[in-house]
């Protein structure tokens, strides 16, 4: 009986230690998740302008990406999607983990061409998307398309 009780008390202690351990681990993880992280900061005259990606609380935000070379909507779309993917992977996310994409076209007539390259690029469970055409020449750096996205890790 005495032995049994001692054994019970040991088990309770073991549970408490394990439980406290879990609590501390969860706390440590929460600490990391609730810190802002930034990636690929772009400077303007040595002063931080914006980041390529920010991360907080398990969410990842990617900056608007354009294509700054001579090309058509298909090559620009492909380039922009690859730029998004680079930032996502660098921040610990992926194309499959994207929740929302915004597509800014230079010309609404490029809608179909953009779609051709866009489809399937985010896997079988794609993000939501909003697409609009801005002012002609309204995407910085003469890109035919700009995209940004929100994802998770």
The first and second tokens of residue 46, run together, are: 């040595």
Contact 55, 153 (CB under 8 A): yes
Closer Cβ to its own copies, 82 or 149, answer by number: 149
Kindly state whether residue 5 participates in binding its own copies, applying the rule CB under 8 A.
yes
- Minimum CB separation of residue 79 from its own copies in Å reads 16
Of these, 38, 71, 75, 86, which contacts its own copies (CB under 8 A)? 38
Contact 43, 130 (CB under 8 A): no
Residues numbered 66 to 125 that lie near its own copies (CB under 8 A) are 96-97, 99-102, 104-105, 108, 111, 115-116, 118-120, 122-125
Of these, 50, 68, 69, 82, which contacts its own copies (CB under 8 A)? 50
Kindly state whether residue 15 participates in binding its own copies, applying the rule CB under 8 A.
yes
Residue appearing with tokens 């194309």: 95
| Strand pairing category for 98-105 and 37-39 | unpaired
| Beta-carbon count within 10 A of 78 CB | 16
């Amino acid at each position: 009986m005495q032995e049994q009780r001692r054994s019970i008390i040991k088990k309770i202690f073991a549970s408490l230690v394990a439980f406290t351990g879990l609590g501390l681990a969860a706390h440590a993880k929460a600490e990391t998740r609730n810190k802002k992280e930034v990636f690929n900061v772009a400077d303007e005259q040595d002063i931080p302008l914006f980041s390529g990606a920010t991360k907080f609380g398990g969410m990842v935000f990617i900056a608007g990406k354009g294509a700054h070379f001579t090309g058509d909507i298909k090559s620009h779309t492909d380039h922009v999607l690859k730029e998004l993917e680079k930032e996502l992977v660098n921040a610990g996310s992926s194309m499959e983990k994207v929740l929302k994409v915004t597509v800014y076209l230079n010309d609404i007539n490029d809608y179909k061409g953009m779609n051709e390259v866009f489809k399937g690029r985010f896997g079988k469970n794609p993000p939501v998307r909003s697409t609009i055409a801005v002012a002609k020449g309204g995407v910085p750096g003469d890109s035919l398309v700009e995209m940004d996205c929100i994802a998770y890790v």
